[in-house]
Amino acid sequence: MRNNTRSVLLSIALLLAGAVAVSAQVQIELEPNKKTDDNKSNNSRWQIPAASLPCTPDNKEWWDELRDAAETVRRSRGDKKDRRKFADLLAEGTAKSFKPPIEDRKPIYFVTAQPQYTEEARRRRINGYIVMRVELRADGTVGEVTTRNSLGYGLDESAIAAARKAVFLPAVQNGVFVTFWAQVEMSFRVY
């Protein structure tokens, strides 16, 4: 039964990865992410697009390194060393005043974490979902996370902790990274 619960939770986490991008609520004016030839593979929604706007050679080199680092993070499922390299590249771009050479778009998630069931919630067979409002900052960090509802038994805290582990490329508007507020729903089911 324990393995079955884990596989269900993993399925929920994978579904959540897609649902996060779909259910995001924008406080800035952004067009939906455009479909390009890059979007032919299933993984493309978790990949940074190639530079499509004019930029300096140094800016393009930084962008290509950032794309490679994001792919490494995605493949390693958020290895700490890989996360650090990606964060350092984002910070380097800001320090050097590099601009993302792509059109306006919503954040791109590379890694999302599944919330963990607490033993008490499992024992009481608590089922349901938690809706959260998550601040995805322009610097690539997760800021404020607030819950809209509660399941109790430690599940709220578990959902918040999982939301904080997301790795993403910040939203882009007018050639700069911007903060984006997303509505995220995490489900808990005991079978």
CATH topology for the 2-188 domain:
TolA/TonB C-terminal domain (3.30.2420)
Q: What is the pLDDT of residue 78?
A: 86
Short-list 90, 91, 72, CA closest to 80: 72
Closest Cα to residue 59, out of 105, 3, 102?
Answer: 102
SS (H, E, C) the chain: CHHHHHHHHHHHHHHHHHHHHHCCCCCCCCCCCCCCHHHHCHHHHHCCCCCCCCCCHHHHHHHHHHHHHHHHHHHHCCCHHHHHHHHHHHHHHHHCCCCCCCCCECCEEEECCCCCCCHHHHHCCCCEEEEEEEEECCCCCEEEEEECCCCCCCHHHHHHHHHHCCEEECEEECCEEECEEEEEEEEECCC
- pLDDT, mean of each 10-residue run, the chain (191 residues): 42 40 35 46 69 95 96 92 96 95 94 92 93 96 96 95 95 96 92 75
pLDDT of residue 146: 96
Per the structure block, which two tokens stand in for 51?
Answer: 């530079």
pLDDT in the model for residue 154: 94
Q: What is the predicted pLDDT for the residue at 123?
A: 92
Give backbone dihedrals phi and psi of 188, rounded to 5 degrees, phi first: -125, 125
Pairwise CA distance, residues 76 & 59, whole Å: 26
